[in-house]
Amino acid sequence: MTKRLCIQGLAAAGLLASVAVPASAADTITVASWGGTYQEAQTKAFFDPTAKDLGITIKQDTTNGLDDVRLQVSGNAVKWDITELGADECARGSKEGLFEKLDYNVIDKSGINPKLVHDDWVGISYTSVVLIYRTDVFGDKGPKTWADFWDVEKFPGRRALSGSQATETLSVAALAKGIPIDKVYPVDIDGALQSVDKVRGHIDAWWTSGAQAMQLVKDGEVDMASIWNGRAGTLRKEGAPVSFSFDQGVLTADCMVIPKGSKNKDVAMKALARFVSPDLQANLPLYVDNGPANEKAFETGKIPQDRIKDINSAPENVKKQVLQDPAFWRDTLVEATEKFNNLIQQ
C-alpha cells in the first residue's frame, strides 16, 4: 500500500488534519498511515486499543510515503511520532538516517520475520500483488500465472500493470519468465526489464494508485491486471465478476518507524510495541485483507479458521508467494525505477 499520487490521500490528509485535536498533553502521539479503509482498520485493530491500554491519545494523519518523512526530518519539523511506510522505503530511509533507533527491550520482535526487524524499522503488515481477471470474459479459465498474463495469444484481452511500483512490476516480470518463486530474489533487473519489454506493447494502462487499479478492473476497462489483494478483496466483496488467488503473488511488507526528532519518542516506542504484539496484530485481518506481520497472531485464536485462507500472510499462503526483499531494493531501487520508467514511457 505504498501509494503515491494519492490525490484522495491528500484530501483525506486535509480532512484529518482539520478534525485533529490540537496537541497539548505529553501523552499524545501522532501516527501517520495510508488513509482509506486500511487506516480505518488499523484504527480499530491497533490505535484505539493501544490508546486505551496506555492511557494516551493517538492522533492520526495520512502520509504519501518516504518523501513526507524526508521533508519533515530535513526541515526540522517532525510532526509524526510513528509513521507507516513500504518496507523498501524503510530500508532506504534507514540508509539516509531518517529514523530513530528502536529499542527491542521495549518492542518484542519474536514472531516477526527477521528480514523485517531492523535497528530503526519494524514490519507491521503485508500487502500482496496478485493477478486478477474478469470471470465474465474468461469464465474460470482465466490467466492463473504471470506467464499466462504475458501470453497475449492464449489470453487475448486488455491488460493493466502497476506503473508506479517498479519493484512489484519487475518482480512479476521475473515470475513471467518462469523463474521459480524462491529464485526471484535477487531480481535480475535487466532480465526482468526484457520481460516487461515483451508485454509493454499490450498494456492498456499503467496504474499509479490502488484506487485506479480497482476502477480499471471494476469498469471492465481491462480484463486482467496486477492489483493489491486488499483492493481485489474489496472488488470480490462488492460482487464484481473477478477471480484471483495468492499463487505467484508478490508479498510486500509495510513497516513502521519513528521519524528522527520525534518529540514523544518514548511513548511512541511503547505504542509501537503494542502495534506489533501478536494480540493486536491478530485484530488487523478482522477488518481488512492485509495480513499481520507477526506470525504469532495466527496462534492467538482470535482469527476465525475460515478467514485464515483469505489472509495473505497466513503460513499456507506465504508458501505460494514471493517475499519482496527490502534490502535488495534499498540499493537498486533508484537505478531500476529509472530504467523501468525509461522503458514504459517510451
Partner 1 sequence: MSIGSASLDPACGPDRGLNADALRADARRESRGLLALLSPGLLLVFAVIIVPIGWLFWLSLFDETGQLSAANYARFFERASYIKTFVTTFKVAFVVTGACVLFGYPLAYMLSQLPRRAASICLIFVILPFWTSVLVRTYAWLVILQRKGLVNSWLIDLGVISQPLPLANNFAGVVIGMTHIMLPFLVLPLYASMKTIDVDCLRAGMNLGASPAATFRQIFFPLSLPGLASGVVIVFVLCLGFFVTPALMGGGKVIMWAMRMEQTTSLYSNWGAGAALGVVLLAVTLALLGFFQWLLGARATGVWSQR
Mention every residue, 6+ apart, whose C-beta is less than 8 A from residue 137.
157, 223
From the list 108-116, 216-224, 234-242, 256-264, the region that binds partner 1 by CB under 8 A is 216-224
Residue with Cβ nearer partner 1 (66 or 314): 66
From the list 1-9, 21-29, 288-296, 320-328, the region that binds partner 1 by CB under 8 A is 1-9
CB of 229 to partner 1, least distance (A): 21
- Binding flag, residue 70, partner 1 (CB under 8 A): yes
From the list 117-125, 215-223, 242-250, 284-292, the region that binds partner 1 by CB under 8 A is 215-223
- Binding flag, residue 165, partner 1 (CB under 8 A): no
Torsion sign across C-alpha atoms 346, 9, 90, 307: negative
Mention every residue, 6+ apart, whose C-beta is less than 8 A from residue 168.
129, 162, 226, 250, 252, 324
Residue with Cβ nearer partner 1 (75 or 304): 75
From the list 2-10, 32-40, 49-57, 79-87, the region that binds partner 1 by CB under 8 A is 2-10
- Binding flag, residue 219, partner 1 (CB under 8 A): yes
**235 SS3 class:** helix
Torsion sign across C-alpha atoms 332, 334, 337, 338: negative
Q: Which of 17, 85, 83 is nearest to 259 (CA)?
A: 83
Q: Are 35 and 6 in contact (CB under 8 A)?
A: yes
Residue with Cβ nearer partner 1 (127 or 164): 164
Helices (H), ranges, 185-240 = 189-199, 210-218, 229-237
Enter the C-alpha cell of residue 14. 486535509
Helices (H), ranges, 117-209 = 135-138, 146-150, 166-176, 189-199
Residue with Cβ nearer partner 1 (308 or 344): 344
- Binding flag, residue 346, partner 1 (CB under 8 A): yes
- Binding flag, residue 344, partner 1 (CB under 8 A): yes
Quickly count: other Cβ atoms within 10 Å of residue 158's Cβ.
Answer: 17
- Binding flag, residue 21, partner 1 (CB under 8 A): no
The only residue of 58, 66, 172, 251 in contact with partner 1, by rule CB under 8 A = 66
- Binding flag, residue 204, partner 1 (CB under 8 A): yes
Strand partners of residue 62? 33
The only residue of 36, 65, 142, 230 in contact with partner 1, by rule CB under 8 A = 65
Residue with Cβ nearer partner 1 (158 or 265): 158
Residue with Cβ nearer partner 1 (65 or 326): 65
Using CA atoms, how far residue 13 sits from 176, 188, 332, in Å, is 37, 38, 31
Q: ω before 186 within 30° of 0 (cis)?
A: yes
- Binding flag, residue 206, partner 1 (CB under 8 A): yes
Distance (Å, whole) CA 59 – CA 23: 9
Three-point CA angle 256, 258, 260, nearest 5°: 140
- Binding flag, residue 337, partner 1 (CB under 8 A): yes
- Binding flag, residue 332, partner 1 (CB under 8 A): no
Binding site for partner 1 (CB under 8 A): 4-5, 7, 64-67, 70, 92, 96, 158, 160, 163-164, 204-208, 212, 215-216, 219-221, 333-334, 337-338, 341-346
